[in-house]
Structures are given as structure tokens and as C-alpha cells.
């Protein structure tokens, strides 16, 4: 579904991606793990059209989307849940969700009410808080809102940038449980995550990104038992996991 080939992006004059190649097959859940500053967010933002690459291509469903502006990429169903959630704080929970519907564009104009209901059944707390300002939600609730907002656009590929960042372990687990539910429904997902243990446990395939390069790739289970990965990313006492 998504094919990224030799993608290179410079950001503020610094080369952040140095020829990244990866693919996300339909129906799979793929992780990108790597340390802070490896270029993970840059990669997602380049795929999304927020940043312009200086080399390489991004193909989505066979179509070249490399130089498409961000809003057109989103309308194709290639939706990103950005790092830090980026909830529109002064807008209500419901308004945030309704804005998410725009990305659906020309795809499937039917069943308007059903989408809201589907999001509310996945995240019941959002139904309770629907009239509240998005900015008044807790971090975990905001992450749910951000995911729900993207789901409103009926993503063909859902990209998530550090969905567990800054969340309590309980909240992080809830978010990952929701992702597992989506995966079980056949949602294609590309997950960027610093918490490698959690990412490898919940995905089919993973890429390791370091200093703008893919240094390793393979089935998530295989990577999770790879000695190099264990020593670098899965320390015995990982304080961020519990």
C-alpha cells in the first residue's frame, strides 16, 4: 500500500533522512523504532507532505504522492496522527472529530453518523466529553481524540507518531489496546514509537531507523529476540515500560 524509496529530506539545513526505503503492505501493522532524533517524525512528515524531500519517492496505492501538498495526501486517506497529538484546544471534542471527516473527501460519502458512533464505541470517554473543549482533556484522552479524529477520515493507512509519548503506563496500554482492535479490523497502520518493546510486541514487521538510515529490518518478533536490538533498545530495566 505504501512504498517509500530512497527518501532523503533535509530539515533546517540538516540532512535528517538519508535514503530511507520501506513498505507497508495492506492490512499490516508496521513499526519504525529508533532513538530520539533518528528522523522518525521527519519521515512521517515527509510522507504526509508537510516536508519536501530532496530525493526519493513516496508511492501510495501505486500513485506517486511525493510532492503532493499535505491536505491532498490526507484526502487520499494517508492520515497522520502527529506527535504531541495536536488537538485543536479551543474547539470541542465533537468539532475536532467533525474536522477529521474532511479528509474523507470524495471517498465514501455515506454513513456520516456511523463514523462518530464508531469512534465513540472505540473510545467511550470521547462521547462523554463531546461538548467539552478538546484542550481540557487529559493527555491520554487527547491521544484518543487524535486517533478518533484521524479515523473520522476513514484512513486507508493510519500513521501514528509516538502515540504513547507522555502518557501514563495505564493510558499507554489503553491506546495500544485500541490500536490492536483497529488492526484486528484490518486497518493498515504505520507506527512510529520510541518504546521499542511495546512497538515490537504489537506489530508484524519493523524497521530500525538510526541517524536517518534504516539500519535493520525484519519481522517484529525476530527483531525482539535479536541480541543487538535487545542491547540497544530493550534494556532489562526499561523505565518507560511497565
Residues that bind another protein (CB under 8 A): 48-50, 69-71, 74-75, 79-80, 82, 86, 88-91, 95, 98-100, 102-105, 149, 153
Residue 144 CB, nearest approach to another protein (Å): 16
**Dihedral sign (CA 137, 138, 142, 145):** negative
Shortest distance, position 134 Cβ to another protein, whole Å: 10
- Please, which residues have CB within 8 angstroms of residue 39's CB and are 6 or more apart in sequence? 9, 16, 17, 20, 209, 211, 212
Least separation in angstroms between residue 210's CB and another protein is: 26
Question: To the nearest whole angstrom, how small is the minimum distance from the Cβ of residue 71 to another protein?
Answer: 5
Nearer to another protein, 152 or 172 (CB): 152
Our CB check for another protein shows the closer of 33 and 79 to be 79
Strands 63-64 and 55-60: antiparallel
Smaller CB distance to another protein: residue 57 or 136? Answer: 136
Q: Considering all CA atoms of the chain, what is the largest pairwise distance in Å, rounded to the nearest integer?
A: 50
Q: Which is nearer to another protein, 79 or 200 (CB)?
A: 79
Taking the least distance from each CB to another protein, the nearer of 88 and 165 is: 88
For residue 24, CA distances in Å to 97, 163, 172, 182 come to 26, 19, 24, 16
| DSSP notation for 199-232 | HHHH-SEEEEEETTEEEEEEEHHHHHT-HHHHHH
What is the Cα–Cα distance from 224 to 210, expressed in whole angstroms? 17
Taking the complex as a whole, the smallest distance from the CB of residue 185 to another protein amounts, in Å, to 22
Nearer Cβ to another protein (58/206):
58
CB atoms within 10 A of CB 136: 14
Write down the least CB distance from residue 221 to another protein, Å. Answer: 32
Amino acid at each position: 500500500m505504501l512504498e517509500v524509496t530512497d527518501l532523503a529530506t533535509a530539515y533546517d539545513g540538516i540532512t535528517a533522512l538519508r535514503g530511507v526505503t520501506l513498505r507497508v503492505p495492506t492490512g499490516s501493522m508496521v513499526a519504525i523504532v529508533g532513538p530520539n532524533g533518528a528522523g522518525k517524525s521527519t519521515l512521517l512528515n515527509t510522507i504526509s507532505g508537510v516536508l519536501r524531500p530532496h530525493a526519493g519517492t513516496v508511492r501510495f496505492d501505486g500513485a506517486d504522492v511525493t510532492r503532493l501538498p499535505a491536505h491532498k495526501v490526507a484526502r487520499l486517506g494517508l492520515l497522520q496522527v502527529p506527535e504531541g497529538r495536536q488537538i485543536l484546544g479551543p474547539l470541542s471534542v465533537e468539532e475536532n472529530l467533525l474536522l477529521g471527516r474532511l479528509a474523507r473527501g470524495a471517498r465514501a460519502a455515506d454513513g456520516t453518523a456511523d463514523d462518530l458512533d464508531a469512534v465513540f464505541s472505540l473510545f467511550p470517554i470521547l462521547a462523554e466529553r463531546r461538548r467539552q473543549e478538546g484542550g481540557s482533556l487529559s493527555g491520554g484522552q487527547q491521544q484518543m481524540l487524535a486517533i478518533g479524529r484521524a479515523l473520522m477520515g476513514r484512513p486507508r493507512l493510519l500513521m501514528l507518531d509516538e502515540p504513547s509519548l507522555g502518557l501514563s503506563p495505564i493510558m499507554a496500554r489503553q491506546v495500544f489496546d485500541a490500536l490492536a482492535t483497529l488492526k484486528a479490523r484490518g486497518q493498515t497502520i504505520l507506527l512510529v514509537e520510541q518504546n521499542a518493546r511495546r512497538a515490537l510486541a504489537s506489530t508484524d514487521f519493523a524497521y530500525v531507523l538510526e541517524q536517518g538510515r534504516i539500519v535493520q529490518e525484519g519481522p517484529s518478533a525476530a527483531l525482539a529476540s535479536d541480541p543487538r536490538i535487545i542491547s540497544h533498545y530493550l534494556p532489562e530495566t526499561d523505565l518507560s515500560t511497565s
